[in-house]
Structure formats: structure tokens, C-alpha cells
């Protein structure tokens, strides 16, 4: 770690002196002699209003849910890879989800297979990759990197976490219902989700699912309003928008997308509740089920899909943009070079965010919407490839001519770029409605979104965790285990999802409990075994990560230097053990953009260092 922790050409900047000299005095500590916010255990660790603690709460809760969601995928992968194997051994854990016949052979019942698939999707998309990723790093980095004492409203910030916690608690409770949790897919399309007669999980399971996700929407909105306000209003002296690190740009835009799209999801859920409980017909029409004809007429299931995907599509950018921001920052810091095309990166984020709102119906090409409308959605969807391509080329150019340190964080950032390319390119097939006729709802889609927004977002998250762990806990994570984690995961993740392209190309639909019911689906038995084994190995590697994470919190190598990676951004100017209010004295003032690496022969110039005589700010181009 030596050369990484202490760069060879150690700069001579003394942050304390510079901050004292040029910093911004807000008289914070004169009013906060006695820290009324963190006076006891409860207010320090549980109902904390400190953004750094809330970030840790989001992260650890996210890891908990990540473990549950991944473990569920292992169970249903066992069903798909080894459908004939005896599953009685997990009966102690899954209870009546496993039915054991007279011969003692245990089988996963189809309803619970679908419940597992549904829960896996819901948990990973919302609890892990939205709350766990954006919640963690927006909270940790926004105040620290813009130079703020805390979020604009620490109270709302605390509530944001606790609404998320409640959402999780309700979802967790639904796992123990006698009829099982909701099992109609994470998209919860009515009528399947609206009618308890349609599926056992659509009864109480669906009610709890909706309650949980409405709580979650509240959490996202409280957090999002806070993030936006903090970025707009609490930037320190000299921190113009064009001097923000790309992480902040990403979190800022993500929060805006969330604020605009999540309420639509909430309204869709509200209408489903009305259809379920009040006998309205928003999404239901002319249904005969369970031996009787229902009274609902005039509703349209397609309306729900419009409302759902109006959030659902922006949601994938809510997941991937923060990962992109983290990766941009990590790649720049660890290749010791400015991010290539900073402004192009910002404009790409803005373009992607704007386009994300007008492409939702590309999930619905084969849903029975008017084919003419699809023309527009095809055009907008494929335009997204342009800003995405720009970002990829810029990341690659960032490495060009650099001095790349293969830390775990940097490896995961490079891995992210690889996955984003692989998964992004398959999106060009799916976004073209004519090809989507064949590809829609096949394993090709499963491969596409798992690579581009599942695994890639995880890689962004891991890059962030390995990079900012020293900031969070004052210790390093073990780098050897980190690198094992990386190489194992990237090989394993491709081993899981690459073959799924072929399964999808053969026409096999997703969400099939078993494949032997169709001739065209049954030809991949060996491949499905292979995928399942790879999934188990990758799962084991994530357990390794969790061990490394918790071990390092208490036993990891101590951070000895305030700025271990030699980064330019403000979070590394705070004391190693960053207290409430972040800076013990004045808030640093900012004089330059965040990417002065390798400028004029220096290794790096932090943002708080004033511009030299005649020196131009690197960001202004």
C-alpha cells in the first residue's frame, strides 16, 4: 500500500493551513460546543442525523438485503440448473416452500419459485441498487464533496433512512405469510397482481408488497429533496457547478429523476389498491377467473404498464448513474489523470436523464400498444446509445497515458466499464422494436439487464466501497481479498450471464419454472447447470466480500494519512476520524475543478489550492 497511501511525489500542501487561511467561516462550532445531535448511543448510531452515519446505515442495510436477494437467486438457480435434485435439505430454512413427497424428495413449489424470483427482483432493484447504492454514496459524498457541514435537512435525512428501514421490515414480514409473498414479478402487472384469485401471492403478499414500496417511495423522495437542496444551496465558496466532481453531478441528477418519477409509481400502486379493495376498474376489464365473471369493465392493464414504466425506466438510470459517477471518480483518481471530457460527461448524464423520461414504452413494444407509437420510442431509445458511447470512450481515454494503480477500487471501475459495454450493446438489439418482437421477455433480456444494470451497478458500488471505506471507517479493506473478490466476480458474473444470451436467442422465455415443458427450451440442460454452479461460486465470493467488510471495520489496516489515495476532492481534507460537522474549523474554499491530476508535472493539486499566477482552471474548456 505504501506507494498508494503515500504517493512518490508527495505534494507539499497543508490543508489545515490553507483552509485556515482561505476557508469559509460559518461559526458552526461556536454554536455546537455541546453536540446535541450525537449525545448518546441512540442518537449516534440509531437515530443519527449525521449524514456519514446515515450513509453507513444505508450501506449495511443494503448489504443485508443484498445477501438475502442473492441467496434467493441461488435457490431458484438450483431449481433451474438441477430440477430433479432433492431439495429437502433446505426445508429447515424455507419451510413449506419446499414440498416433500412420500419418498422424501423435496421440490420447490412453482408458486414459491415465482415468489423467489419476484422478491429477488424487488429487493435488488429497490433495496440494494437504489437505497444501498444511491442512498449510501449520496449521503456520504454530497456534503463532504461540495463542502457542507451536513445535509440541508438532517432530520428528513434520518427519516429517509427510517422509511427505508420500515419498507424493508414490511417486505421481510411478507416472506412469512402463509400464502407466501407476492409472486407476480417485480413489475407487478395487473390483473395478476390485482386479483387474489389469480395467484396465491396476490393476496396478503401483494398488499404488504405495495405498503412496503409506498414507504420506500417516501424514503426516496425525502432523500432526493435533500440531495438536490444540498447540492444547489450548500456548496462551499468557489464550488461552482462546473467544479463539482462527477459523483456529485451523478447523485444530483439521480435525485431529480427520482423525485420526478417515483410519485408516478406511487400513484400506480394507489390505483392498484383501489382496484383490489374498492372495486374500481382502472386496470381491470372483462375478466373471468376462478369460475366467475368479475364486474370490472372498462379498465386497461396497459395503463398500469405506462405508469409503472414511467418510473421503471428512469429507475434503471437511478441505479446506473450513481455507479457511473463513482466509476468516473475512481478511474480518474487511480489512473492519476483527469477524467477525459469532463463537460461531455456532465452533458451525457443530463442527456441520459432527459431521455430516460421519454423511452418508457420500449418495455411495452409487444404489450398491445399501438405499433405506430413505438416508432418514437425506438428513436429516443437508440439515441441513448450516443451519450452512453461517449461516456465509455471517455472512460477508456481516461486510462490512456495514465499511471494506473490496480487497487480493488480501480479494478472494479474497469470491470464496470467492461460490463457496461457488454450489457449496453445488447440494449441496441432490444431497443429496436423489430428485433424486440423476438427478444422480448426472453433470457436475452435477462442477460442484458443483469449485466448492464445489475452486475455493472454492483461493480460501481464495490468500486465506491473499496475507495471510500477509509473515509467511512478510518481503515482500509484488505486489498488481497478485494482483488480475489474482483477477479472471481467478473469471471463468474460473465459465466452466469453470457450464456443466457444464447438461451434467449433460442427463444426461451424468462420466468419459466422449468425448461422441459418445451422442446426448444429443453436443449440447454448442461448450460443451466453450469450457470447455477457459477452463481454459487459468485455468491460465495460476495460472502467473502462481506467478511472482508466487517472484519476491516474493526481489524483492517489503519489509515495513517488523511488523503490515502492522493485525491483532489474535499472529503479527504477532513480529519481521518471525521466528526459531526465534517471540518473542525472553517470549511475549505474551492479554487479549481476536481481533476487536476498530472498537471504541469505535479502529481495532483487538491481543489482547495488556489490557482497559480496565470493558471487556468482545468475544468473551463
Partner 1 sequence: MTGLLAVLSIILIAIIIVQIGKVTELAAKIRGEEEAEMEINNRNALWSIVFMVVFLIACVVSAVYYKNSILWYGPHTAASAHGGELDSLFNTTLFFTGIVFIVTHILLFWFAYKYRSKKGRKVLYMPHDTRLEIIWTMVPAVVMSFLVIKGLVAWNEVMADVGEDEDYIEIEATGMQFLWTMRYPGPDGALGRKYYKNITAVNALGQDWEDTKNLDDIVSSAAGEVIKLPINKKVRVRITARDVLHNFDLPHFRVKMDAIPGLPTYFAFTPNITTEEYRERLGALDKEGNPLYPEWHEPADPEDAESKARWEEFNFELACAELCGSGHYSMRRVIEVVSEEEWKAWMDEQKSFYLMSIRNTDEDPYKGKLLSVEVQQRSQDFRTAVDQALASDKEEDKIIRLEYVTFETGSAQLTQYANYQLEDLAKVMKSNENIQIAISGHTDNVGEPEANLSLSTARAQTVYDYLTEKGDIEPARLTSAGYGETQPIADNTTEDGRQENRRTEFKIVTQ
Q: Is 498 in the site for partner 1 (CB under 8 A)?
A: yes
Q: DSSP string of 185-198? A: TTTT-TTTTT-TTT
Q: Which residue of 259, 260, 274, 383 would you call a contact of partner 1, by CB under 8 A?
A: 383
Please answer whether residues 244 and 323 qualify as being in contact, where contact means their C-beta atoms are separated by less than 8 angstroms.
no
Q: Is 178 in the site for partner 1 (CB under 8 A)?
A: no
Burial class (CB in 10 A: 0-12, 13-18, 19+), 427: buried
CA distance 395 to 507: 34
Burial class (CB in 10 A: 0-12, 13-18, 19+), 325: buried
Site of grid cell 449521503: 139
149 or 363, CB closer to partner 1? 363
45 or 518, CB closer to partner 1? 518
Q: Which residue of 441, 474, 536, 562 would you call a contact of partner 1, by CB under 8 A?
A: 441
Q: Which residue of 74, 435, 533, 536 would you call a contact of partner 1, by CB under 8 A?
A: 435
279 or 584, CB closer to partner 1? 279
Work out how close the CB of 517 gets to partner 1 at its nearest, in angstroms, rounded to a whole number: 5
137 or 515, CB closer to partner 1? 515
CA distance 432 to 388: 16
Please list every residue from 296 through 315 that binds partner 1, using CB under 8 A.
297-302
What is the 8-class DSSP label of residue 176?
Answer: T
Only one of the segments 110-118, 164-172, 215-223, 566-574 lies at the binding site for partner 1 (rule: CB under 8 A); that segment is: 110-118
Work out how close the CB of 14 gets to partner 1 at its nearest, in angstroms, rounded to a whole number: 24
Q: Is 481 in the site for partner 1 (CB under 8 A)?
A: yes
Work out how close the CB of 483 gets to partner 1 at its nearest, in angstroms, rounded to a whole number: 6
Work out how close the CB of 144 gets to partner 1 at its nearest, in angstroms, rounded to a whole number: 24
Q: Which residue of 362, 440, 450, 580 would you call a contact of partner 1, by CB under 8 A?
A: 440
269 or 395, CB closer to partner 1? 395
Work out how close the CB of 579 gets to partner 1 at its nearest, in angstroms, rounded to a whole number: 29
In terms of Cα–Cα distance, which of 306, 385, 325 is closest to 352? 385
Q: Which residue of 375, 558, 560, 612 would you call a contact of partner 1, by CB under 8 A?
A: 375
Q: Is 513 in the site for partner 1 (CB under 8 A)?
A: yes
In terms of Cα–Cα distance, which of 246, 166, 159, 282 is closest to 213? 166
Q: Is 433 in the site for partner 1 (CB under 8 A)?
A: yes
Q: Is 176 in the site for partner 1 (CB under 8 A)?
A: no
Burial class (CB in 10 A: 0-12, 13-18, 19+), 375: exposed
CA distance 128 to 345: 25
Work out how close the CB of 469 gets to partner 1 at its nearest, in angstroms, rounded to a whole number: 14
Work out how close the CB of 621 gets to partner 1 at its nearest, in angstroms, rounded to a whole number: 6
Please list every residue from 337 through 356 that binds partner 1, using CB under 8 A.
337-344
Q: Which residue of 371, 575, 584, 612 would you call a contact of partner 1, by CB under 8 A?
A: 371
Only one of the segments 35-43, 109-117, 210-218, 240-248 lies at the binding site for partner 1 (rule: CB under 8 A); that segment is: 109-117
306 or 511, CB closer to partner 1? 511
Beta strands at 292-293 and 106-108: parallel, antiparallel or unpaired? unpaired
Given phi > 0 = left and psi -120 to 50 = alpha, else beta, which region is 617?
A: beta
Bridge partners (DSSP) listed for residue 604: 597
Q: Which residue of 95, 279, 401, 584 would you call a contact of partner 1, by CB under 8 A?
A: 401
Helical (H) or strand (E) element with 314 = helix 301-335
Please list every residue from 524 through 543 that binds partner 1, using CB under 8 A.
524
Size of the site for partner 1 (CB under 8 A): 134
Q: Is 179 in the site for partner 1 (CB under 8 A)?
A: no
Q: Is 403 in the site for partner 1 (CB under 8 A)?
A: yes
The Cα angle at residue 136 between residues 565 and 251, in degrees rounded to 5: 85
CA distance 539 to 489: 9
Work out how close the CB of 375 gets to partner 1 at its nearest, in angstroms, rounded to a whole number: 6
Q: Is 396 in the site for partner 1 (CB under 8 A)?
A: yes
Please answer whether residues 99 and 111 qualify as being in contact, where contact means their C-beta atoms are separated by less than 8 angstroms.
no
Only one of the segments 50-58, 192-200, 269-277, 463-471 lies at the binding site for partner 1 (rule: CB under 8 A); that segment is: 192-200
Which residues lie closer than 8 Å to 182 by C-beta, 6 or more apart? 115, 118, 119, 122, 174, 188, 193, 201, 202, 205, 206, 208, 209
CA distance 530 to 518: 20
Q: DSSP string of 248-281? A: HHHHHHHHHHHHHHHHHHHHHHHHHHHHHHT---
18 or 194, CB closer to partner 1? 194
Rg (CA), the chain: 25
Q: Is 390 in the site for partner 1 (CB under 8 A)?
A: yes
Only one of the segments 22-30, 31-39, 220-228, 500-508 lies at the binding site for partner 1 (rule: CB under 8 A); that segment is: 500-508
CA distance 168 to 161: 11
Work out how close the CB of 594 gets to partner 1 at its nearest, in angstroms, rounded to a whole number: 11
Q: Which residue of 106, 238, 488, 507 would you call a contact of partner 1, by CB under 8 A?
A: 507
Q: Which residue of 406, 575, 584, 585 would you call a contact of partner 1, by CB under 8 A?
A: 406
CA distance 532 to 495: 10
CA distance 203 to 199: 8
Q: Which residue of 160, 426, 563, 574 would you call a contact of partner 1, by CB under 8 A?
A: 426
Q: Is 195 in the site for partner 1 (CB under 8 A)?
A: yes
| Phi, psi for 108 (deg, rounded to 5) | -80, 120
Q: Is 30 in the site for partner 1 (CB under 8 A)?
A: no
CA distance 149 to 236: 10
Q: Is 91 in the site for partner 1 (CB under 8 A)?
A: no
Please answer whether residues 138 and 570 qualify as being in contact, where contact means their C-beta atoms are separated by less than 8 angstroms.
no
Q: Is 557 in the site for partner 1 (CB under 8 A)?
A: yes
CA distance 195 to 183: 12
In terms of Cα–Cα distance, which of 388, 458, 472 is closest to 426? 388
Q: Is 35 in the site for partner 1 (CB under 8 A)?
A: no
Only one of the segments 54-62, 71-79, 155-163, 477-485 lies at the binding site for partner 1 (rule: CB under 8 A); that segment is: 477-485
Helical (H) or strand (E) element with 461 = helix 456-473
Which triple of cell numbers denotes residue 552? 476491516
Please list every residue from 203 through 232 that binds partner 1, using CB under 8 A.
none
Only one of the segments 96-104, 231-239, 387-395, 450-458 lies at the binding site for partner 1 (rule: CB under 8 A); that segment is: 387-395
Please list every residue from 271 through 300 that binds partner 1, using CB under 8 A.
284-289, 293, 297-300
Counting every residue, how long is the chain? 621
65 or 486, CB closer to partner 1? 486
Amino acid at each position: 500500500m505504501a506507494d498508494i497511501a503515500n504517493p512518490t511525489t508527495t505534494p507539499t500542501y497543508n490543508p489545515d493551513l490553507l483552509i485556515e487561511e482561505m476557508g469559509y467561516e460559518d461559526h458552526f462550532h461556536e454554536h455546537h460546543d455541546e453536540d446535541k445531535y450525537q449525545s448518546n448511543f441512540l442518537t449516534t448510531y440509531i437515530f443519527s442525523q449525521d449524514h456519514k452515519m446515515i450513509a453507513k446505515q444505508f450501506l449495511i442495510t443494503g448489504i443485508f438485503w443484498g445477501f438475502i436477494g442473492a441467496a434467493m437467486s441461488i435457490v431458484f438457480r438450483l431449481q433451474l440448473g438441477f430440477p430433479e435434485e432433492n431439495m429437502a435439505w433446505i426445508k429447515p430454512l424455507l419451510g413449506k416452500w419446499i414440498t416433500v413427497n412420500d419418498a422424501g424428495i423435496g421440490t420447490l413449489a412453482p408458486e414459491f419459485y415465482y415468489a423467489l424470483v419476484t422478491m429477488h427482483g424487488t429487493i435488488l432493484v429497490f433495496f440494494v441498487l437504489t437505497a444501498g447504492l444511491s442512498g449510501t454514496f449520496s449521503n456520504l459524498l454530497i456534503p463532504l464533496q461540495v463542502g457542507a457541514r451536513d445535509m440541508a435537512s438532517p432530520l428528513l435525512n434520518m427519516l429517509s433512512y427510517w422509511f427505508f428501514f420500515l419498507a424493508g421490515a414490511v417486505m421481510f414480514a411478507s416472506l412469512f405469510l402463509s400464502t407466501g409473498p407476492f409472486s407476480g414479478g417485480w413489475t407487478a402487472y395487473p390483473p395478476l397482481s390485482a386479483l387474489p384469485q389469480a395467484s396465491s401471492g396476490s393476496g396478503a403478499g401483494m398488499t404488504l408488497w405495495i405498503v412496503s414500496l409506498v414507504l420506500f417511495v417516501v424514503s426516496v423522495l425525502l432523500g432526493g429533496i435533500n440531495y438536490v437542496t444540498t447540492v444547489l444551496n450548500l456548496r462551499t465558496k468557489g464550488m461552482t457547478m462546473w467544479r463539482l466532481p462527477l459523483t456529485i453531478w451523478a447523485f444530483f441528477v439521480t435525485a431529480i429523476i427520482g423525485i420526478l418519477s417515483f410519485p408516478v409509481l406511487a400513484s400506480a400502486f394507489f390505483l392498484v389498491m383501489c382496484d383490489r379493495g374498492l372495486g374500481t376498474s382502472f386496470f381491470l376489464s372483462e375478466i373471468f377467473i376462478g369460475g366467475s365473471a368479475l364486474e370490472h369493465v372498462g379498465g386497461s392493464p396497459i395503463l398500469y404498464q405506462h405508469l409503472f414504466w414511467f418510473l421503471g425506466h428512469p429507475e434503471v438510470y437511478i441505479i446506473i448513474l450513481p455507479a457511473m459517477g463513482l466509476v468516473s471518480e475512481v478511474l480518474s483518481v487511480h489512473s492519476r489523470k483527469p477524467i477525459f471530457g469532463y463537460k461531455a460527461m456532465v452533458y451525457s448524464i443530463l442527456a441520459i436523464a432527459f431521455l430516460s423520461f421519454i423511452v418508457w414504452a420500449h418495455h411495452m413494444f409487444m404489450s398491445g400498444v399501438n405499433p405506430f407509437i413505438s416508432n418514437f420510442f425506438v428513436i429516443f431509445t437508440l439515441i441513448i446509445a450516443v451519450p452512453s458511447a461517449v461516456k465509455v470512450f471517455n472512460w477508456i481515454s481516461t486510462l490512456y497515458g495514465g499511471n494506473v494503480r490496480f487497487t480493488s477500487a480501480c479494478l472494479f471501475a474497469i470491470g464496470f466499464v467492461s460490463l457496461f459495454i457488454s450489457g449496453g450493446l445488447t440494449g441496441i438489439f432490444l431497443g429496436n422494436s423489430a428485433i424486440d418482437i423476438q427478444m422480448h421477455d426472453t433470457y436475452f433480456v435477462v442477460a442484458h439487464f443483469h449485466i448492464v444494470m445489475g452486475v455493472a451497478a454492483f461493480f460501481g458500488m464495490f468500486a465506491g466501497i473499496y475507495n471510500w471505506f477509509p473515509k467511512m471507517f478510518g481503515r482500509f479493506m484488505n486489498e488481497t481479498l478485494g482483488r480475489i473478490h474482483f477477479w472471481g466476480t467478473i469471471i463468474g458474473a460473465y459465466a452466469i450471464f453470457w450464456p443466457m444470451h444464447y438461451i434467449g436467442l433460442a427463444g426461451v422465455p424468462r420466468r419459466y419454472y422449468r425448461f422441459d415443458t418445451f422442446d426448444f427450451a429443453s436443449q440447454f440442460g448442461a448450460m443451466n447447470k453450469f450457470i447455477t454452479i457459477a452463481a454459487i461460486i459468485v455468491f460465495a465470493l460476495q460472502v467473502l466480500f462481506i467478511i472482508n467488510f466487517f472484519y476491516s471495520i474493526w481489524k483492517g489496516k489503519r489509515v495513517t494519512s488523511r488523503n490515502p489515495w492522493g485525491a483532489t476532492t474535499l472529503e479527504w481534507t477532513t480529519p481521518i476520524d471525521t466528526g459531526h460537522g465534517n471540518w473542525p474549523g472553517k470549511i475549505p474554499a474551492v479554487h479549481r475543478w476536481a481533476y487536476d491530476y498530472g498537471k504541469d508535472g505535479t502529481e495532483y493539486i487538491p481543489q482547495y489550492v488556489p490557482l497559480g499566477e496565470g493558471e487556468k482552471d482545468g475544468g473551463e474548456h
